[in-house]
Structure 1
Amino acid sequence: MLDKLEYLIVLAAEKHFGRAAERLGITQPTLSAGIRQLEERLGATLVNRGSRFQGMTQEGERVLAWARRITDDVRTMREEIHTVRRGLSGHLRIGAIPTALAIVARLTTPFRSRHENVTFEVTSHTSAEIIAGVENFEIDVALTYLDDERLRRLDAYSLYSERYCLVTTRGSRFSDQESVTWEEVASVPLCLLSGTMQNRQILNRHLGAGGRRFTAVMESNSMIALLSQTRAAGAAGAATIMPFRSAAVLGLAEPMVAIPITEPDVSYRIGLVTARRDPRPPVVGAFWEEARLLTEL
């Protein structure tokens, strides 16, 4: 039955029988038959069908939630058995908001130096996607903003505070100043994260304070894309805004410069989050506890 639950999980993610079958490495008839067998065993219709996938039924949504938990519990059991026999190993799925991606290495590097049989998958998401991914057991741990009511359903702790700097090129406007105000930053053509990102919503509040207008000449869900555009544009082009820690980790090279944004000096808490469960998968539990012991990121 476990394999049929996995069929349902992948189908819900892909929303297409053909793509789900391809991802599972089976034929589409095998997938369809497996879903029907699951429905017969549970005595309920789980998937709305027509000529194509049309979504989950109400019963299907409930079974899907249980399927995710059951398959993750089985994964945890297997990892615990493996850990007893051979020590800590496994694959850790880490999600991060774009502004925290550069910080992930500060966590994974010391962890892997102690546990060389652990591998990582790091993906970028919006804060909403992170919460959904953690709750659905598709993300093991994540770095995200902690000022979010939805995090009450998860375990979380603070890692650091995100403060901001204007990143521009030497010779551009404000590049020789020791600091800039949000009003000054708003007067510069900017490359900013996409509007769906919580970081962008934060920046919108401060750049647009008091009805101030500002111009975003480029939007992206990647900080690297924003930095590349800023560097290519040169002194006459645009600038971007990024957290100080990310700028420090990336090590901005000439002709890029990072200038603190003050008046006001704003900060937002970034932390690690994971699903609230006991026991945690061994790799997740070890990563969670060792990250908490770090004194500096």
Structure 2
Amino acid sequence: MQLRHLRYFTTLARVRHFAKAAAECGVSQPTLSAGLLALEQEFGRRLVERDRRFVGLTEQGEAMLPWAEQILGAVNGMAHAVSATAAPVSGEFGLAAIPAALPLVGLFGEALLQQFPGLTLNVRSATSREIERSLHAFECDAGLTYLDHEPPANVLSVPLYAERYLFVARRGEGFDDRASITWAEAAAQPLCLLHQGMQYRRILDARLSARGLAIAPRVVADSYVALLAMVRAGGFATVVPDGYAALMAGLEWAHFLPFDEAEETRRIGLVVVNRDPMGPLASAGLATARLLESAAVIDKPYQPSSKSI
């Protein structure tokens, strides 16, 4: 069995397109197809459903996928471990973050690159479920995600931040003289929110349901940038993590309001897969997160001041 054939297989399963998979693997499409055929012949099973285009994996392909991912991940980890014995930690650190945790990326990334100058950082936004899958498939080295609600399995975690909600409206929309808002008032506004595939939205819905409230947003998205753009355009309001208040500080159109009812905060932190041995990149991320936790530099760094709201 050749490792490059496993890479063709796992890449195709992820991108679900023959031409895109070939381009990502740096080979021609016929070469990729030949490698997949060789893999199927070696195992004596059809692994990929095809009809001039990618249809999906067969039952046998689905069964093989997690093992193929683990093999490639173990080889990659072995290469990093070998190089780490002779030189400082280097390479590309893959970090996947839920949208609610993106404001933490700056402080974590700065600390990581300062502690490990040989690293570069690759950040992508993902749902909590995508982060869990990517970690176990060796597609990223660490994740920034919720630690208490739907926590990922078999991980080591370091709490970094206690998230709170903020209501956001455009100035001039009737909230300029307000210092806070009730949940009932917020739920009655024309809202734009993240869709229910995002963990932040599922937690928000549960919090509202506990208060006997329900929301039916007119706009849903998978990005806070899209939500804030709708608010800025006028006629909509939204609810965001308080981390976004600092990113928006100084913009005159945005008015942030805390909720006047006490709420349970949600812990966000760094997670890495609990493996033994742990790869050098995951170890570097874990060490950085523990350094930030001990210094308490991230806990509540984004609470908006009266000037910013």
Return the TM-score normalized by structure 1. Answer: 0.89
Asked if residue 178 in structure 1 is aligned to residue 179 in structure 2, the reply is yes
Cross-structure match for 1:58: 59
Structure 2 counterpart of 1:36: 37
d(CA) in 2 for partners of 1:90, 1:59: 34
Query: What SS does the aligned partner of 1:123 have?
Result: strand
Secondary structure of the equivalent of 2:60?
helix
Partner residue of 1:243?
241
Deviation at 1:211, TM superposition (A): 5.0
Q: Confirm or deny: 8 A CA contact 2:149 2:203 kept in the other structure.
A: no
Q: Does 1:92 align with 2:109?
A: no
- Provide the C-alpha distance between the structure 2 equivalents of 1:116 and 1:10, rounded to a whole number of angstroms: 30
Counting only pairs closer than 5 Å after superposition, residues 199-238 of structure 1 correspond to structure 2 as: 199-207=200-208, 212=213, 214-233=215-234, 237-238=235-236
Matches within 5 A, 1:155-194: 155-194=156-195
CA distance in 1, matches of 2:129, 2:250: 29
Taking a change above 3 Å as real, the CA distance of residues 254 and 60 of structure 1, as seen in their structure-2 partners, is same
Q: Percent identity?
A: 39
Do the aligned residues in 2 keep the contact of 1:175 with 1:259 (CA within 8 Å)? no
Q: Is contact 1:103–1:249 with CA below 8 Å preserved after alignment?
A: no
Higher helix share goes to which structure?
1
RMSD: 2.2
**Conserved? CA contact 1:158–1:269, under 8 Å:** yes
For residue 2 of structure 1, report the CA deviation from its aligned partner: 0.9
**CA 1:22 to 1:107, structure 2 compared with 1: closer, same or farther past 3 Å?**
same
CA distance in 2: counterparts of 1:20 and 1:152, whole angstroms: 29
Contact 1:69–1:137 (CA under 8 A) maintained in structure 2: yes
Superposed, 1:1-297 pairs within 5 Å as: 1-149=2-150, 151-207=152-208, 212=213, 214-233=215-234, 237-294=235-292, 295-297=296-298
- What is the distance in 1 between the residues matched to 2:162 and 2:220? 24
Distance 1:69 1:200, change over 3 A: same
**Residues 1:249 and 1:279: Cα distance change in structure 2 (over 3 Å):** farther
Long gaps (5+) in structure 2: 299-309
| Distance change in 2, residues 1:188/1:21 (3 Å) | same
Quote how far apart the aligned CAs of 1:261 are: 1.2
Cα distance, 1:163 vs. partner? Answer: 0.6
How far is 1:83 from its partner?
2.5
Q: Which amino acid aligns with 2:285?
A: F
Give 3-state SS (helix, strand or coil) of 1:269's partner.
strand
The count of corresponding residues between Structure 1 and Structure 2 is 294
Secondary structure at 1:257 match in 2:
strand
